[in-house]
Amino acid sequence: MAENASAPPLMIRGVTEPRLEVHKFRTGAVVGASALALVLQAFVPAKVWKGDVLADLIELPLLATLYFGLSRRNPSRGLLLGMVIGMAQDGLSGANPIGLFGIAKTLVGYLASTIGSRLDVEHPVSRMILAFMFFHLHNLTVVFSRRWLLAQPTPLMSVRILIASLVAALLAWPLFALLDKLRQDED
């Protein structure tokens, strides 16, 4: 994906806002980071002790989608990246039909890019809050997809989901800081 996009002045309710910085990443950084998140999510839990529990609590592909959506601030690119990551995650999981996480991460990518183009999401606390909220948005989308599209009864909320959302929020702080190192403009 080309990283040379420059965002035009944003018009919100007829008011021209200050232009937010659109971050560019090193060549292959987006693809590499996303692929790494997918691989870790798919294969590592099977190799470590209590890997299945770990896989339930940690959603690396979601955090990757969220981070790149917030950073690149392009809704189209964000939703396409979310769609690719989600479908790849479905394919690697072997248990989900392809498209289940794809739909959820498409929405996450689109909304994250939209929010990222309007808000400054560089602060660690805001990143944690966004990670927490987007985790639940992702979870709601998956639950409703299971219920309505697949006719699979799925609980809307549980302690595990709540813990996982907190884990995602906590994990977003160091992970996003690590991913910030891949930005081209910060070199």
Interacting residues toward other proteins by CB under 8 A: 5, 8, 74-77, 79-80, 83, 86-87, 97-100, 102-103, 106-107, 110, 113-114, 145, 149-151
Least distance in angstroms from the C-beta of 58 to other proteins: 23
> 31 or 149, CB closer to other proteins?
149
DSSP class of 23: P
- In the complex, minimum distance from the CB of residue 160 to other proteins, in angstroms, rounded to a whole number: 24
CB of 64 to other proteins, least distance (A): 18
Judged by CB, which is closer to other proteins: 65, or 145? Answer: 145
Locate all alpha helices (DSSP H) within the chain, ordered by sequence: 29-47, 51-57, 60-72, 75-93, 100-116, 124-144, 159-180
For the CB of residue 123, give the shortest distance to other proteins in the complex, in Å: 25
Q: Which residues of 122-131 are buried (b: 16+ CB within 10 A; e: fewer)?
A: eeeeebbebb
Instruction: Give bridge partners of residue 12 from the DSSP assignment.
Output: 15
Residue 96 parent element (H or E): none
- The residues near 64 (Cβ < 8 Å, ≥ 6 apart) are 33, 34, 37, 85, 179
Which is nearer to other proteins, 152 or 158 (by Cβ)?
152
CB 49, min distance to other proteins, A? 33
CB 37 within 8 A of CB 63: yes
Instruction: Considering the complex, state which of residue 33 and residue 107 has its C-beta at the smaller distance from other proteins.
Output: 107
Task: Please identify, using beta-carbon distances, which residue of 45 and 78 lies nearer to other proteins.
Answer: 78
Residue appearing with tokens 């007829």: 14
